[in-house]
Structure 1
Amino acid sequence: MAAKKLYESFSKSLIDEVQRWGGMKQTGVSLRYMMEFGSSPTERNLLIAAQFLHRELPTRIARKTIELESLPYGLSEKPAILKVRDWYLDSFRDLRSIPEIKDTNDELEFTKMIKMIKVRHNNVVPMMALGVQQLKKGLNAKIDYESLDEIHQFLDRFYMSRIGIRMLIGQHVALHDPNPLPDCVGYIHTKMSPVEVARNASEDARSICFREYGSAPDINIYGDPNFTFPYVPTHLHLMVFELVKNSLRAVQERFVNSDKVAPPIRIIVADGLEDVTIKVSDEGGGIARSGLPKIFTYLYSTAKNPLDELPDDDVTANVATMAGYGYGLPISRLYARYFGGDLQIISMEGYGTDAYLHLSRLGDSQEPLP
């Protein structure tokens, strides 16, 4: 069925080419390699990078397209998923339409195009979420979400691959910036202060909390503000923002009708030899042990789901509102793992939750390619 739909909107030669490229081997890149390679963005280096991406991106995108075709429980047929698949096919076709990259002009054309591809895929996460939502609506309400393991593993692979594709494109595009920020190599900040990023992310999360509840608990940050290491600040900001937002919500809701002052959230930044670890601690009442396995699934959220209010045919209705509905934790964990780190949540029901965000200091772990 899905294949038939595909043939209707795309030529057979394109489908054959997707199959061929999807069978090729992907090449992982490490943070350290991206940093060293990008530290001198000469025309020659940018040309080599573009030639690498010209081979690598179609392979990664073809794999995603093929996977989107054969999802369990009829997920591939959902309108939102078909839309995502078409984005990937369009991007594959665009990439393959560019002949070999031989000189700087070719390289600049290619860079312009991959920048456009990155924008085209901006809403993939909410759109996929919408597809899963459309699936959940149709499934038996009593279905055990653990049995949807296959979908969960697919989404982990899919989003991890997406992080990689966006990092490679974003890094290459950023190397063309005529006025790079000091100590930055593309997306990578060679002297990033985790304390400073944690402070910014906390302030952002706190202002959202204020907007929603009219007040917000304090946040205390402990750690050496002068300590720095190479990392991608946007990734770290996203992860800390997510963890702090969850903590703020838990504390706020626990103390909303209490005459006690809400206890502050504590963020501790520790620099070890191998890992930089950021701990976010709250006294928001914790999570029951039975609920802990659910917090990393894409099929569960305690927040109210904005899609429940949408009519089914309204696939493209403001999808962006979907961001942050139960996807924050699993996606943050993928960001942590992408450069060799991890995210662990430890909870004391009746007291609070500690989140441990481990970031690899060495920067030489390869991308985890699914």
Structure 2
Amino acid sequence: MAATIKKASKDLVDEVRRWASMKQTGVSLRYMTEFGSRPTPRNLLISAQFLHKELPIRVARRAVELESLPYGLSLKPAVLKVRDWYLESFRDIRSFPEIKDNNDELDFTQMIKMVKVRHNNVVPMMALGVQQLKKDLNPKIVYEDLDEIHQFLDRFYMSRIGIRMLIGQHVALHDPDPPPDCVGYIHTKMSPVEVARNASEDARSICLREYGSAPDINIYGDPKFTFPYVPTHLHLMVFELVKNSLRAVQEQYMDSDEVAPPVRIIVADGLEDVSDEGGGIARSGLSKIFTYLYSTAKNPLDDQSDVDPETVTTMAGYGYGLPISRLYARYFGGDLQIISMEGYGTDAYLHLSRLGDSQEPLP
């Protein structure tokens, strides 16, 4: 095993395994909203006591899984680093004494805030580990065949979304002056059109920076239509879809005299549709768009042979945008589907569950 596990005491390893075998407890968006709408000291105490029990189970499950990945992925330097972060976080949470009063609760909140920061770069770091693996694999391997790795990454990232949501929600409930209609991370009257507008502007400015120009984006829908959701999650999904569409259209029309057609976003009750006329995705490529080992952009490792994992924050080229966006959609009971017409363009359908009754999917 790797150096750190040798350093990690046998007791710690045993305890991680013991907690990893315990049952996780899922929470629904509706429950988080109702519970968080009264962030009294008593409710914050109950929330902290729940997290004190729940977080070590979720963190331990991932730490254990990180040790037994196929094709030697567990031994890649970037993956070892991620596993160390999980072990440290497990140790921090488990060594925190029982939470009995509001002073304990405030100390606990500071500690889990630090845990969340420690894990900020988990996605690019795991991506780096997968790239390190790809460099060593036989080039004849068909990436879709690496099913176990895809399934592991789906579970791993879904779990990460849940852990960050639970910590972020608890921390945000301490905000003395929350924005109107917000309960922690949840906006009880989120306007998808508003969020889509902001996400599109962000994506468009990246396209302008990269190509010097960008197609227009037309958004259709009623800005007054609202429902409870987590705006940061929706922003991330729309940003990713629009960024892909802008890139496809921009590259399709780069050397053409024609004006690039706009990217369209249609917000209907409970559904977002992002469409582009960027030439579509070849049928052979469609099966790959939700895999973690595929990207149409350049592999960021091809330029630098030894990237310092500490400084890796780029996401383009890791091929992670779409699969992770789909997990965000599924986290609260929605889904993301891509339908493409080769030679014409692509439609992405983002279904969001409005009732918020679905439990978190617990991998």
Q: TM-score range by the shorter chain?
A: over 0.9
Per the alignment, residue 109 of structure 2 pairs with 111
Corresponding residue number in structure 2 for 1:301: 295
Alpha-carbon deviation of 1:311?
Answer: 2.1
Q: What is the CA–CA distance in structure 1 between the aligned matches of 2:144 and 2:309, rounded to whole Å? A: 29
Aligned counterparts, 1:1-370, within 5 A: 1-2=1-2, 5-271=3-269, 276-312=270-306, 314-316=307-309, 318-322=311-315, 325-370=318-363
Contact 1:126 1:323 in 2 (8 A): no
Which whole-Å CA distance do the structure 2 matches of 1:7 and 1:148 have between them? 26
Following superposition, the deviation at residue 324 of structure 1 comes to 6.1
Q: CA-to-partner distance for each residue in 1:12-66, whole Å, 9 max, x for gaps?
A: 1111110110010000000000000000000000000000000000000000000
Cα RMSD of the aligned pairs, angstroms, is 1.0
2: distance between equivalents of 1:215 and 1:323?
Answer: 18
**Normalized against structure 2, the TM-score is what?**
0.98
> In 1, Cα distance between the equivalents of 2:264 and 2:299?
28
Could you tell me which amino acid in structure 1 is paired with residue 41 of structure 2? E
Number of residue equivalences: 363
CA contact (8 A) 1:281 1:352 kept: yes
2:117 is matched by which residue type in structure 1?
A: V
Distance 2:276 2:100 in 1: 55
Paired with 1:8 and 1:333, the residues of 2 have a C-alpha distance of 37
**CA distance in structure 1 between the aligned counterparts of 2:197 and 2:5, rounded to whole angstroms:** 51
In the superposition, relative to structure 1, how do residues 19 and 352 fare at CA in structure 2: closer, same or farther (>3 Å)? same
Equivalent AA in structure 2 for residue 301 of structure 1: S
TM-superposed deviation, 1:317: 5.3
Shift of 1:310: 2.0
Is the CA contact (8 Å cut-off) linking 2:22 and 2:57 kept in structure 1? yes
The Cα of 1:321 is off from its aligned counterpart by: 1.9
Q: Name the amino acid aligned to 1:328.
A: G
Q: Percent same amino acid at aligned positions?
A: 84
- Which amino acid is the alignment partner of residue 249 of structure 2? V
The answer on whether the counterparts of 2:295 and 2:317 sit within 8 Å (CA) in structure 1 is no
Distance in 2 between the 1:324 and 1:56 partners?
34
Residue identity opposite 1:30 in structure 2: S
Shift of 1:6: 4.8
Equivalent residues of 2:128, 2:309 under 8 A apart:
no
Higher mean C-alpha displacement, 159-168 vs 323-332: 323-332
1:138/1:37 CA distance change after superposition, 3 Å: same
- Cα separation, 2, equivalents of 1:151 and 1:28: 24
Whether contact under 8 Å (2:190, 2:228) holds in the other structure is yes
CA-CA distance at 1:307 after TM superposition: 1.5
Q: Quote how far apart the aligned CAs of 1:288 are.
A: 1.1
Maintained 8 Å contact 1:130/1:315: no
User: C-alpha separation between the residues in 2 aligned to 1:146 and 1:291?
Assistant: 11
1: distance between equivalents of 2:329 and 2:255? Answer: 35
Query: Any unmatched runs of 5+ in structure 1?
Result: none
The offset of 1:351, in angstroms, is 0.3
Q: Are the equivalent residues in 1 in contact too, given 2:297–2:316 (CA < 8 A)?
A: no
Gaps of 5+ in 2: none
Deviation at 1:352, TM superposition (A): 0.3
TM-score (norm 1): 0.97
Once residues 85 and 302 of structure 1 are traced to their aligned partners in structure 2, the CA distance between those partners, rounded to angstroms, is 28
What is the SS of the residue equivalent to 2:289? helix
Q: Once the 2 structures are TM-superposed, how far is the Cα of residue 323 of structure 1 from its aligned partner?
A: 5.5
**SS of residue matched to 1:142:** coil
Cα distance, 1:147 vs. partner?
1.6
1-structure distance, mates of 2:191, 2:303: 41
Runs of 4+ in 1 over 3 A off after TM superposition: none
SS in 2 for 1:345: strand
